[in-house]
Homo-oligomer: A and B are copies of this chain.
Amino acid sequence: MAKANELLKLDNQLCFQLYSASRLMTKLYQPLLKPLDLTYPQYLVMLVLWEEQMGHKFTVTNLGQRLKLDSGTLTPLLKRLESKHLIKRQRSSEDERQVWIRLAPLGDSLKSQAKRVPEKLLCETGIKEQDLNTTRELLKSLFDKADF
């Protein structure tokens, strides 16, 4: 059937556009994150932490819900951030199952440098902020609409 063949073509699949756009985006961020010594997923974790005041505590589960990542990904990533002295990991004494994650002073001070990253990205890629917002909204609504 012609229809199924068309659907099967790589370029016609949203999945592939998303997949390659996402990886491209990571590559675009890389040179901007290198001075901060952060990988892209590490940067995302820091973004979440930076949204709150310095003393704010997150559990690993909190971060996971926000970023849609599980402990299998987060635990080693957070250990790497800790070894760079950007965050502190501390097992909760109230509930020994939980581990509190919070900004360390070095991680907090990194925020001012990070603030320049989004505008630099727009600038360097020549992406119009309007186009970017449109795409972002469309993606968000598409995935909010579907029930998963």
- Chain A residues near B (Cβ < 8 Å): 1, 4-5, 7-10, 12-26, 28-29, 40, 44, 47-48, 50-51, 66-68, 111, 114-119, 125-127, 131-136, 138-140, 142-143, 145-148
Contacts and interface: CB of A to CB of B under 8 A. Distances in A.
A51 B9 contact: yes
B125 A146 contact: yes
Given A119-B7, A142-B127, A21 B23 contact: no
A9 B114 CA distance: 11
Q: Which 8 A-B pairs have the closest CB atoms?
A: A22-B22, A7-B118, A4-B115, A18-B22, A14-B136, A17-B139, A125-B146, A10-B47
B10 A135 contact: no
18 contacts: A8-B50, A8-B111, A8-B114, A9-B51, A10-B48, A13-B47, A14-B136, A14-B139, A15-B25, A18-B21, A18-B25, A19-B26, A20-B143, A21-B139, A24-B68, A125-B147, A125-B148, A126-B146
A18 B118 CA distance: 15
A52 to B, nearest CB: 11
Among A115, A118, A126, A131, chain B packs the most CB atoms within 10 A around the CB of A118
Contact of A14 (B66, B114, B135): B135
Contacts of A119: 4, 7
Given A14-B25, A14-B132, A126-B146, 8 more contacts: A4-B116, A10-B66, A14-B136, A15-B40, A17-B140, A19-B25, A20-B68, A135-B138
